[in-house]
Amino acid sequence: MAKDKAPDGDLIEADLRFDAKAVLSFAEPACVLDQNGRVVLANPLFSKDRGLLAEDGHVPSAPVAAVLLLPPEPERSSRRVQVGGLDGSHIFDLFAFPLVTPGWRLVLAMDRSVDVSLQNALVSSRARFKTLVEVSSDYAWETAADGTFSMVTPKGIAGVGPRDLIGSRPGELLEPSAPQAAISPFSTPVPVEDVEIWMRHVDGKLLCFEVSAVPLYDEHGNWCGARGICRDVTETRKHQRFLAEQRNRERIFVRITNVFRHEADPSDMLQVAASTSTHGFGAAGCQIFTTTLRPDVLVSRPQLVPTVSFGSVGTAEQVDSLLQRLLDGPKEQPRVLEAGVFSVLLAATVYGGRLVGAILLWRGSGHAAWTDGDRQLLASLSGQIGAAIEQRASYRLLLDASRTDPLTGLLNRRGFYDEMKRRFKRLQRDAKTAALLYLDLDNFKLVNDLHGHAKGDETLCFLADILRNNTRSTDLVARLGGDEFAVWLDSADETVAVNRAQVFLAAAGALISYSAAPDRPLKLSIGLAIYDPKTAEGINEFVSRADMAMYSVKRAGKGSYAMAAAAGGRR
C-alpha cells in the first residue's frame, strides 16, 4: 500500500482515492475519518477552536462523534449538532459520505449558526413574528397550554377564519384518512421543521402543509404552547406525484418494450407483458385477449378469446359482458368498468386501424382507484401490445405453413414428428399408453399414371377427409409425403387402435371409385404400434415398429392392418 502524504500533500492514493487539496481548500469545515474514527485529514476550519476536534486533535469532539455514531436514516442526509468552541457556540449540519476504503468517511460540517440564530430571533418575538408572517404567504399560528389555538393570522387556515379557529383544537382540521406526523407540531415539545400534515379545506379539497414550529415555555420551564408556520405545498406535492407517476409509466413502458425486443416467441411477449403490467400498475391481475381471425381477414365485430392471463377476474359471464361493452363503445381510450368486486381498466388493442385484441387490468376493493395516469399509460401500452398480437398472429401463420401439408391441410412430416416428440415425452412422464398408425395407399401410383396428378390429388384429399372425420380433436393426423399417412391416438390401447383401423378400412371402401383399374383397386394398408410406458422404448423404435407392421401388410396382400410386436419382440 502506498504511503499517505501529509495534509499539505497532493494525494492519499491507497486509502482515499481523491484529491486531498480539495478537502484542504473546502470553504466549510471538512475532514476524513478512518475506520477507527480517527482523523486522517482535516482542513483548517475543522478545528478545536470551533469545537469540532477533541483536545488531542486526532479525533472529533464528543458531540460530533456522538452524532456520527447514530445509524443513518433514509430520509435524512444530515445531522445537526451544537458545539462550544473558543470563539463561542456553533451549530453545524454534519454530512458523512462513505469512501472507497471500507469504513473511511468524508465528513463535511456546514455552519448553520447564523441561520438558526436568525430563526430563533424571528420566532422568539411575538410582535415581530406576527408582523412578518402577516405579509407572507404562509399561515402563522400559536397554541396555548390547553392545546387550542390562541393566535392565528387574519387569513386563517384551510378556509377557516381566525374567529372560528381561536379556542378550537388543531386536530379538528386534520384529515383522518391521511397519514399524519407522529408528534403534532401544534403541541410539540421540541423544535420541528417541515413536518407534513394533511387538512381538508372547507370546500372539500385536500390540502398538504409543511409545518415548522417551536415550543413555548414559561419562566419556570413549563411548556405553555407552540408557535409555528404552515406552508401550503399541495401543488408541489401534486407535481411531485405527477412526476413520480410519469417516471413509473416510463419505467413500465420501457420494461415491456424491451421484452418485445428480446423475446423471440411472440406468445412469451404477451405473457411477460401481462405479468409486468400487473406489477407495474399495482393491479391484482391482467388478461390479454386476441381475435380468432387471421390478420388478412377484416370483419366489423371480431370474437375475442383469452390468450394469456396473470390472475383471474370475475366469472366468464362478467368478462364476456366487459368485452361486449368494449366492442360496443368507443375504442380510442381505455375505460374503467365494474365487474363484481373488481374495478377493471380495459383497452382495445388496435393495429393498422384494425381491432386485434384487448387488455384487462383489475383491482380489488382494497386497491386505489384508477387514475388518468393509469389510463394514459395503458393507452400507450395497448399500441405496443397490439403490435405484439399482430406479430404473434403472423408468426403462427408462418409456423402453421411450415408444419402443414398444403394439399390436404393435415400436418406435414415435420409438424407431425415435432408434435409427436413432445407428446412422447409426456407419455414417459405420465405413464400412459398411445397408439401410432402408419397408413399407405395401395395401387395409388397407377392413378397418377393413368388419370393424371389432379385425380391423384383428389384421391389424397378424399383419404385425408376420411382420417380427419374419424379421429378426435386430441389426435394427430398427418400426411408424411406421397401416399403415406400417419395417425397418433392419445391414451389409446390395442383395442382402441384396432377398432380405429377397422373404421378406417371400412370408410376407405369408397376409394374404389378412384381406382385406375378393376384389378388394381385402391386400398389401405395399416400398421399399428402401441406404446407401453413400462418399457424403455425410444421414439425411433416406436415409429419403426409401426412402419414395419405396415409393410408386413403390404407383403401379405394389402388392404388390411397388422399389429406390431411389442417392444422387445413380445406379443
Q: What is the CATH number of the domain that holds 312?
A: 3.30.450.40
- What are the grid coordinates assigned to 289, written together? 385477449
List the one residue out of 73, 39, 69, 70 whose CA is nearest residue 57. 39
Q: What is the pLDDT of residues 22-61, one digit of tens each?
A: 899 999 999 999 999 999 999 999 999 999 999 888 999 9
DSSP E strands in 470-543: the ranges are: 476-481, 484-490, 523-531
Predicted local confidence at residue 43, as pLDDT: 94
Of 338, 368, 402, the position where a domain reaches its end is 402
Residue 472 belongs to a domain: yes
Residue 530: exposure state from Cβ atoms within 10 A (0-12, 13-18, ≥19): buried
Q: What is the CATH number of the domain that holds 54?
A: 3.30.450.20
> pTM, whole model, 2 decimals?
0.44
> What band does 132 get if pLDDT is binned at 50, 70 and 90?
low
- What are the grid coordinates assigned to 48, written together? 478545536
Residue 368 belongs to a domain: yes
* Domain identity same for 27 and 125: no
Q: What is the pLDDT of residues 59-95, one digit of tens each?
A: 999 999 999 998 878 777 788 999 988 878 889 999 9
* Domain identity same for 102 and 131: no
Predicted local confidence at residue 120, as pLDDT: 67
Residue 187, domain extent: 120-232
Give the Å distances, CA to CA, from 533 to 66, 365, 432: 74, 50, 6
* Domain identity same for 267 and 385: yes
Q: Is the confidence at residue 6, as pLDDT, over 50?
A: no
Comparing 126 with 32, the larger pLDDT belongs to: 32
* Buried-exposed string 23-45: b where 16+ CB fall within 10 A, e elsewhere: bbebeebbbbbbeeeebbbbbeb
Q: What is the pLDDT of residues 194-241, one digit of tens each?
A: 888 899 898 888 899 999 999 999 888 899 999 998 888 888 888 887
* Domain identity same for 508 and 443: yes
Q: Is the confidence at residue 406, as pLDDT, over 90?
A: no
Amino acid at 499: N
* Domain identity same for 129 and 87: no
The rounded mean pLDDT for the chain is 84
* Domain identity same for 39 and 161: no
Work out the average pLDDT over 104-122. Answer: 81
Predicted local confidence at residue 563, as pLDDT: 95
Of 111, 143, 169, the position where a domain reaches its end is 111
Q: What is the pLDDT of residues 137-169, one digit of tens each?
A: 578 899 999 999 999 888 889 899 988 999 999
* Domain identity same for 73 and 211: no
Rg of the chain over all Cα atoms, to the nearest angstrom: 41
Of 94, 111, 128, the position where a domain reaches its end is 111
- How many Cβ atoms are within 10 Å of 360's Cβ, its own excluded? 28
Residue 238 belongs to a domain: no
* Domain identity same for 429 and 554: yes
Question: Considering its fold, how many domains does the chain have in total?
Answer: 4
* Domain identity same for 438 and 455: yes
DSSP E strands in 54-205: the ranges are: 79-85, 88-98, 105-111, 139-143, 149-152, 192-200
Residue 249 belongs to a domain: no
| Segment among 198-212, 240-254, 439-453, 521-535 with least mean pLDDT | 240-254
* Domain identity same for 170 and 228: yes
Residue 392 belongs to a domain: yes
Q: What is the pLDDT of residues 443-479, one digit of tens each?
A: 998 888 888 889 899 999 999 999 999 999 889 999 9
* Domain identity same for 418 and 542: yes
Residue 246 belongs to a domain: no
Residue 10 belongs to a domain: no
* Domain identity same for 439 and 398: no
Residue 4 belongs to a domain: no
Question: CA 122 from chain center: how many Å?
Answer: 51
Q: What is the CATH number of the domain that holds 538?
A: 3.30.70.270
